[in-house]
A and B are shown apart, each in its own frame.
Chain A
Amino acid sequence: MAKLEPYSPTPAARAGRIVMTIMPFAIGLACVLLAFVPLGRIVGSALTPAFPLMAIYYWAIVKPEMFPPFAVFAVGLIFDLVSGGAIGLWAFVYVITYAVVISQRMLLVNAPFSAFWIGFLATAAFAGLLAWVIVSIIHGIFVPPGSVIRHMAVTVAVFPVFAMLFGRIQTRVLQGS
């Protein structure tokens, strides 16, 4: 290790590194909160996109070492706790989705944005289907799929805006890492 770091970092550099390490996770947490802000009320509907899924997909492709599995799990679990639904549902769905995205990472890592977006479409469809199957098993009935389809459609539709936002944050704040 001495070879790698011939100088000892200054406190400021250390603080900067800590910020960089926790930044993606902090963004994930902010996305969880944002998912509960009643944004749909502005237009008089009750649709909110799956913001955490966007953060998980983005960082899994761009910098997976900054969004480790436990962070994905924590984001999913906090989402479950605030949403009041089945505990572990979104933690499970997000961790599996993360694993699938990581396995396909090489396809998407340097792909043009359209491919990145199509990849997200497939990811959202997968996550929505998985969640729907689990909830249907839990309740023992076929839960009407309309709301989850709308939910994921809105998520895919607003994804470019957030991908751009995450990209900005990445180039501005995390470039030093």
Chain B
Amino acid sequence: MDPNRSALPFREFSHRISLVFMLTLAAALLLLGRAETYVFDRARQVVTDLAAPLLEVASRPVAATRRVIERTDEYAYVFDENERLRAENARLLAWKEEALKLQGKVARYEALLNVQVDPSIEYASGRVVSDSGGPFVETVLVNVGTEQGAKSGQAVIDTDGLVGRLVSTGPKASRVLLLTDLNSRVPVVIEPAHYKAVLAGDNTDWPKLEYLAAQSAISPGDRVVTSGDGGLIPPGLPVGLVIQTSSGDLRVQTFSDRGRLDFVRVLQYEFPSRVKRQDPPEVLKGPGESAELGAAAPAAPAAQAAARE
């Protein structure tokens, strides 16, 4: 008789037992995991920190391949692109003049009203090293961690606009909750009428606008920027444009393209109440003014403005 034969049913049996055990364990984890305990958070962070360097190495060839494809595309359309850029440059130069004029004007008004100047925001740059990897979660990993000053809650932007915010950080890598995730809520303002709303992701490509006043007159094409309410995300970061879906809902098309995320900035923003008061820029102070006369400073530009009228 084959000596292996007696082992087979036992093997089958032990296989079945371990299957049932693993099934129970997984179900228990699914229920316990809802509690978001310290142990799970810690385990998640450790695994993420271990995986991030590997993913960074693995994402390099991907980035290189994409660059090659983009280059090829660019060569094909180089003349059209050049033409388009010339036109855009001419348009932007006009805007630059306008912006400089407005900048001066706003600075004068701020000095006049003694407005608290926004503190400059420091940032750490990094690369997006992973994709979300699951159909129900819209998060990515960036290679900026607590060693670079990243903290949970900080806003993440790319060249186009707001990408999301950090939800957990490790020494070398952090997780970014994208605007489209089911759990993402960001306070925003819809320009130009300055209606406030909350941008709520729902795992679709276009997040919803919640808590929008019923009588607010917003229309597709309006610009959406962060409001800064809550003090977590700096105000005025570009988010996207209002669009109307085929079912008539108003949603937001984000400026940042989730499929092309590469280099991002983590903004190390501190709510202004916690930073020292900043004086208006030196150029706005009248000639001969000293630091002791700081209290009188707002009056001087006011007088200048009055004289100009």
Contacts and interface: CB of A to CB of B under 8 A. Distances in A.
Nearest to A84: B139
Nearest to B137: A85
Candidate in A48, A64, A76, A150 with the most chain B CB atoms within 10 angstroms = A48
A114 to B, nearest CB: 26
Contact of A70 (B3, B18, B43): B18
A73 B22 contact: yes
B203 A144 contact: yes
A41 B66 contact: yes
Contact of A76 (B21, B26, B129, B133): B26
Interface stretch (A12-20, A115-123, A132-140, A164-172): A132-140
B4 interface: yes
B303 interface: no
Nearest to B183: A139
B65 to A, nearest CB: 5
Q: Is the interface of A mostly helix, strand, loop or mixed?
A: helix
A96 B23 contact: yes
Contacts of B131: 36-41, 46, 48
B48 A41 contact: no
Contact of A90 (B48, B134, B141, B258): B134
B135 A91 contact: no
B136 A82 contact: no
Interface string B5-39: 00000010001001101110111111111100000
A88 B130 contact: no
Contacts of A72: 22
Interface stretch (B52-60, B99-107, B225-233): B52-60
Interface residues of B, number: 60
B135 A68 contact: no
B15 A45 contact: no
B4 A148 contact: no
B30 A89 contact: yes
A83 B27 contact: no
Interface string B267-299: 000000000000000000000000000000000
A99 B19 contact: yes
Interface in A56-89: 64-65, 68-70, 72-73, 76-89
A77 B133 CA distance: 13
A106 interface: no
A103 B134 CA distance: 26
A92 B130 contact: no
Most A-side CB within 10 Å, residue of B25, B55, B131, B140: B131
Contact of A99 (B23, B66, B175): B23
Nearest to B176: A84
Q: Tell which of B25, B66, B140, B262 has the most Cβ of chain A within 10 Å.
A: B25
A131 B133 CA distance: 14
A84 B29 contact: no
A4 interface: yes
A98 B133 CA distance: 20
Contacts of B55: 33, 36-37
B254 to A, nearest CB: 13
A38 B59 contact: yes
Contacts of A81: 43-44, 47-48
Interface of A: 3-4, 33-42, 44-46, 48, 64-65, 68-70, 72-73, 76-92, 95-96, 98-99, 102, 128, 131-132, 134-135, 138-139, 143-144, 146-148, 150-152
Given A38-B130, A143-B136, 10 more contacts: A33-B55, A36-B133, A37-B55, A38-B62, A73-B22, A83-B134, A88-B29, A89-B136, A92-B29, A148-B136
The 5 A-B pairs of least Cβ separation, nearest first, read: A87-B33, A88-B29, A88-B30, A92-B26, A151-B135
